[in-house]
Amino acid sequence: MRVTHYITLAVAIALIALLYWGGNTVPPAKKPGANMQPTAGAMTQGPNTMKAASFDSILTASRRQLPKTAVDTVNTIENELTAIRDSSRMASVFIHLSGVWERGNMLPVAAYYKAKSAKLENSEKKLTFAGQNFLQLMENESSPSVQMWEATEAVGCLEQSLKINPDNEDTKLALATGYIEGTGEPMRGVQILLAITREKPDDVAANMLLGRMSIQSAQFDKAIGRFETILKKEPENKEALYFMAQAYEGKGDKHKAIEMLEKCKQVVDNPEFSKEIDKHINSLK
């Protein structure tokens, strides 16, 4: 397992805690390069000309992969929906329909119908979960156009959730992640994060995302400042230590990069992780 796999695994677990239990953690972001060199991320790209996939195209492609019995069940439920006018009953049927698609492993379609149910119920918790579901799908999606559609769906759910509870910081962080990672509008996500840090300068999750964005845009001093803020509050935050090492390496300060990697190795305290870290440290000497 590569070094970055340990970090991104921790971040993925952290997102679940963030959205379910309100843990003070960081939403997921794409992996940094295995060689720890900064990559050109959303902030350094030009205007995004890609178009999101349509739900109709995703639905059509997914329907072809369902077994006939499942297609028949879907058709029956869709016919049932046309006769329903009560929103609460409709929300329940959408959940039933989502389950059929989920059992067929057509997860984007399942997520779409689950989100439709959440929107009808206008439940903060269910909308946030639906948004998180799309973010998780986005992270594992191979098609860029489908990934953009998933990010857009996530943003829609999370924005509706914030209308119910505008002060929910965890939902704001998830919304920022959706903008930064998949919609082609990274600056909207950055503005959300900056607003959080204006109110709470030492906010760990917002500073983490801003620090990682700074690495992607080669603003290494800014990134280091963000991670220093985190480490003042949480001296053993392994993500901050790891990404600070990345920032120092990008800046050309190998000595400080090695110092941060050694600290990260001590905090993680995993033999396989330490072995990978040592390999990279040796490559810097």
* Contact of 28 with 8, CB cutoff 8 Å: yes
Separation CA 211–CA 217 (nearest Å): 10
- Whether 49 shows a pLDDT value over 70: the answer reads no
Q: How many Å apart are CA 228 and CA 108, to the nearest integer? A: 38
Q: Which residue has the higher pLDDT, 25 or 140?
A: 140
* Interval 85-123: pLDDT, tens: 899 999 999 999 999 999 999 999 999 999 999 999 999
In the chain, what are the domains? 1-43+184-285 (1.25.40.10), 51-168 (1.25.40)
pLDDT of residue 51: 87
Q: Tell me the average pLDDT of the chain.
A: 85
pLDDT at 14: 39
**Alpha-carbon distances of 81 from 84, 165, 240, rounded to whole Å:** 5, 30, 49
In order of 28, 202, 225, 236, the CA distances from 233 in angstroms are: 21, 7, 13, 9
Mean pLDDT of 223-236: 97
pLDDT at residue 25 tops 80: no
The one-letter amino acid at 258: I
Nearest residue to 129 via CA among 20, 10, 11: 20
Lowest average pLDDT, out of 36-50, 51-65, 198-212, goes to: 36-50
Say yes or no to pLDDT of 22 above 70: no
In the 8-state DSSP scheme, what is residue 42?
Answer: G
Confidence check: pLDDT of 12 > 50: no
Alpha-carbon dihedral sign for residues 276, 279, 284, 285? positive
* pLDDT on residue 182: 83
Is the CB of residue 161 less than 8 Å from the CB of residue 135? no
Residue 112 pLDDT: 98
Q: Is the pLDDT of residue 7 over 80?
A: no
Q: Which two tokens stand for residue 48?
A: 């995004």
- Are 25 and 15 a contacting pair, CB within 8 Å? yes
| Whole-angstrom distance, CA of residue 68 vs CA of residue 185 | 40
- Give pLDDT tens digits for 136-149: 999 999 999 999 99
**Which ranges constitute the DSSP H helices of the chain?**
3-21, 55-63, 68-82, 87-103, 107-121, 124-139, 144-164, 169-178, 186-199, 204-216, 220-233, 238-251, 254-268, 271-284
45: pLDDT strictly greater than 80: no
Structural tokens at position 266: 């001590």
Cα–Cα distance, 97 to 95 (Å, whole number): 5
Distance CA 13, CA 107 (A): 20
